[in-house]
Structure 1
C-alpha cells in the first residue's frame, strides 16, 4: 500500500488516498475506537478537511465508512486542525482531519484523534494492523459518499472563544497586521481573531487554488511576497499558517519570517512554562535561555506529546511543547492573566502568533528587535524535493556505517566534532556550527537544518549541506 504514517498522520498521493484506502483506514480507526472503549457504539467522530481538491471526496468516503462501522460522523467542514481537536475533546468524540498540511498539492493525508487528543505511535501501529486485517474485507473497502450533521459553526465558535480569551481587550491596538490567507482553512478565523484584539488587519493573497505553505522552510517566492506586502502597506507583521492551520508563520516588519522555534520560545516565556518538549531540530539556544527545562524528542507531534505526557505523569506542571515549525502544544492548563487556557495537546498556530505579537506590544519592540533580543544561534532550514525515499535511506545508512564515511562526506563543510542520532543525523562541526540531515517522515524530501553564528555563515552552510545531498550518488 502506497500510504503510510509519517511524522503526523497518514500521508500519500491524493490518487492513492481517494477511494478504498480512505474507507479502509476510517473503518480501522472506527474499530480502534470501539475496541479500545474510547467511543461507545453510535458515538461521534468529528470530521473536517482542508481546501485541497481531493479533500471533500476523501471526507465523504470517511463519513460513509464511519457510519457503516456503527459510529456517528459529525461534519465540521473546513476548519483548522486545532479547532477540530478542541471541539472533539469538548464533546468527547473521536476525530479525523483530512489534510496534507504543507506538502505538495498532489498529496493528501488523514490525521486521527482520540477523544483525549492525537493518537500516538502505538495507536498508529494498532490502526495499521487493523487495516491490514481488513484489507480483503469488501465492506471495509467499500467506497460511497457519506455525510453527517453540520457542526462547523459550533466548532468555529468554540475555537474563536478560546482565542478571544487569550489576551486583554485591545491588546494589539495600533498594530498593522497582514494575514496571508492563501488556501489555509485558518484564513477567515485569523482575520476575526486579530481584529478582535484591535489590530488593523489586511487580508492578503487569498487563493481558490491550493498553495502548499511550509512554515519550516518558507520558499523564496513566499518571502518575496511577504516583503513586498510589508513594504507597500507599512505592516508591523504578516501572519499566516500552513494548509490546515496548525503551524504558524509570523514575519517581522520587513517581511522576514521568524523561526518557528523562536515563536515557541517566546510563547513559553509568555505562558511562563516550566518544561518544554521539543524535537532535536529545534534551535540549541533553547537550553541556553534558562527559563525552563528542555526535553528533546524525535521529530513529530506524537513524540512531543509523549514527552509531555511523561512529564505530567511525573508530577510536572507548566508543560508545553512545540516543533521547529512553530506548532504549539499545551500539555498543562495555562493562566494567561485573562483566562485559563485548557490543555490542548495538538499543534496550534493561533496561540504562538498571539503570544509573539502581544510580547512585542508589551515591550514596545518591533518584531525584528524582539527576535534579535533572544540572541539565538542563526538557524536556517530547507529541503530537496523529489528526493526518493530509497535514496535518502541509502545515504543515511552510508553515513551511519562508519566514521570515515561521515568524515569524507562532511569534509567540504568542516571536521566532525560530535554526532546525535535521535532523528536523522545532527552533526556539530569543529567550529561549533551544526548541520542536520533528516529524511522527511511523510514525503519524498530530504531536509537540511543548520546553525551558525551569523546569517551569512548559516546561509553558506545550508547551501553547502544541500549541495552535498544533491550531489550524492549511492
Structure 2
C-alpha cells in the first residue's frame, strides 16, 4: 500500500523528533500512521515482545490500540497495560524485559499526541538508536507483516510499579501533609497508588480527574503560571510540601511550605546526597544547565560528577556508560540506575518526601544549602540568524577568565557566572540560561545576553 500524505518524508520529519514522535491529531498523527510505526518498530528493532501503555488524552486509547495492532501484525507478542504514566511504562519494559511504547504527548496541549519508544530494559529509542530507521521504513510505504501474528494480551502493573518505587525510596519519620497537583494527567492515577500506601502521609489532591482536555491548566509545571494553584493551596492547607507533575507524570516539581517553587537543581542535589550516602563515591550525572552547585556538592561528598548534554537519551546513555547511580536535569527529569536508568517523577517525589520526613526542618531550610547561586531559568527568543547571534555573544562574553565549550550549544564559564545558549532542534529559537554568584551578577549577564540576542535582525 503506498504511503498517504502523512507518511511522506516532509510530513514525517515534522513528527519524528530527536527523542520521540509527536504531532497534532489527526492532522499530523492518526491511527493509520501509528499502526505503521508499530509495525516498523518491530521490523527494525527485531523486538519479539512489546509492552504498550497510554495516557489519558482522548486520542490515546485508539492510538495505543493501533500501535499494538501494527506490532502484533509484524509478529511481536504485545502486552497492553492500558492507562499508565510514562515511568510506569518504563517499569514494565524493565521488569518484563520487553521493548516498550508509550502513547503520550507529555506536557503538550490537548490537540497533540505522540509516542515514546524504548528497547527492552527501558533503553531509549532516539535518532541514533533506531528512530531514524523506523521513520524511513514508514516513509517507504511498506508495512511489515509476519506469517503468524503475535499474541495480544492485557495486564495491570500498577501495584507492582508502586511496590518497586516504595522499595527504592521508603518514606518514614514525622507525619507530613502533601498537596499533589496532577494537572488532570496520569499522576491522578499513580499518586494514589503510590502515596496512598505511605503511613503518616496526608495527601491533598488537586486535579486528579483524568482529563486530556486539561480543563484547569496545562500539565506543564516548568511554566510558572501552571504552579499558581498549587502554590496557593500549599499555603492555604498549611502543607509541608507540594508536588506538581506533568501530563505523563515523568517529571516532578516541588513547592515548599511557603508556596515557593524549589529549583530542580536543588532537588537534583538533594537526591544526589541521598544516593551518595547509600553508595559512597558513586557517579552522578547532571546536564549542563543544572546549577554548578550540583557538581560542587557531589565533589564535596566524595562522588564523581559527570556533565552531559540536555535530553533524556543523552542522560540515559551516559548513565549506562558511567554506571551512574543517579542523574538529574534542570527540566525536572530525574534518572535512577536502579530503575533501569530511566526517569521517574514519582520516584524523585518519594526521595523528597523521605528526606523531609526524616528531617526536623521545613523544606525551605532543607534545600537552602543546595541553592547558593542565582539562576535565570530558561528564556526563549525567536532568532532567524542564530550563527550571527552566537558570534556577537562570543565577542561580548569571551575574555580573560572565561572558558568556552560547545558540548550543547555554547557555554561561557567564568568563576562568578556561566551563560549557555542552545538552539532548538525544531524551531527558530535560542534558549538562554544564566547563573551568577548572586542576583545582581545573574541579572547583569542575563540582560546583556538578551540585549544581544534580541537586537539581531
Corresponding position of 2:409? 424
Corresponding position of 1:282? 290
With normalisation by structure 1, the TM-score equals 0.81
Query: 5+ unaligned residues in a row in structure 1: which ranges?
Result: 313-317, 332-341
Cα distance change of structure 1 residues 253 and 22 upon mapping to structure 2, 3 Å threshold: same
| Structure 2 SS opposite 1:165 | helix
Pairs within 5 Å for 1:84-163: 84-121=89-126, 123-124=128-129, 126-137=130-141, 139=143, 148-151=152-155, 153=156, 155-163=157-165
User: Which of 350, 355, 368 is residue 359 of structure 1 equivalent to?
Assistant: 355
Corresponding position of 1:185? 186
Aligned residues: 429
The alpha carbon displacement at 1:349 in A equals 0.8
Corresponding position of 1:69? 74
User: Which of 21, 30, 34 is residue 33 of structure 2 equivalent to?
Assistant: 21
Distance 1:83 1:239 in 2: 18
CA deviations 1:146-205 (Å, max 9, x no partner) are 994332x2x211111112323456x15421100102122122321342332221110013
Conserved 8 A contact 2:55-2:186: yes
CA deviations 1:208-241 (Å, max 9, x no partner) are 22354334xx323223222211221111111121
| Structure 2 SS opposite 1:17 | coil
Root-mean-square deviation (CA, aligned residues, Å) is 3.0
Corresponding position of 1:261? 265
Conserved 8 A contact 1:18-1:57: no
2:205 matches 1:203:
yes
Pairs within 5 Å for 1:43-442: 44-121=49-126, 123-124=128-129, 126-137=130-141, 139=143, 148-151=152-155, 153=156, 155-168=157-170, 171=172, 173-197=174-198, 198-206=200-208, 208=211, 209-210=213-214, 211-215=217-221, 218-272=222-276, 273=279, 274-289=282-297, 290=299, 291=301, 292-312=303-323, 319-331=325-337, 342-384=338-380, 387=382, 391=383, 394-395=385-386, 397-400=387-390, 402=391, 404=392, 406-407=394-395, 417-428=402-413, 432-441=416-425
Conserved 8 A contact 2:275-2:325: no
Cα distance change of structure 1 residues 97 and 259 upon mapping to structure 2, 3 Å threshold: same
2:434 matches 1:450:
yes
Cα distance change of structure 1 residues 405 and 376 upon mapping to structure 2, 3 Å threshold: closer
The farther-off stretch of 189-198 and 204-213 is: 204-213
With normalisation by structure 2, the TM-score equals 0.84
The farther-off stretch of 260-269 and 445-454 is: 445-454
The alpha carbon displacement at 1:450 in A equals 1.8
Conserved 8 A contact 1:172-1:357: no
4+ long deviations beyond 6 Å: none
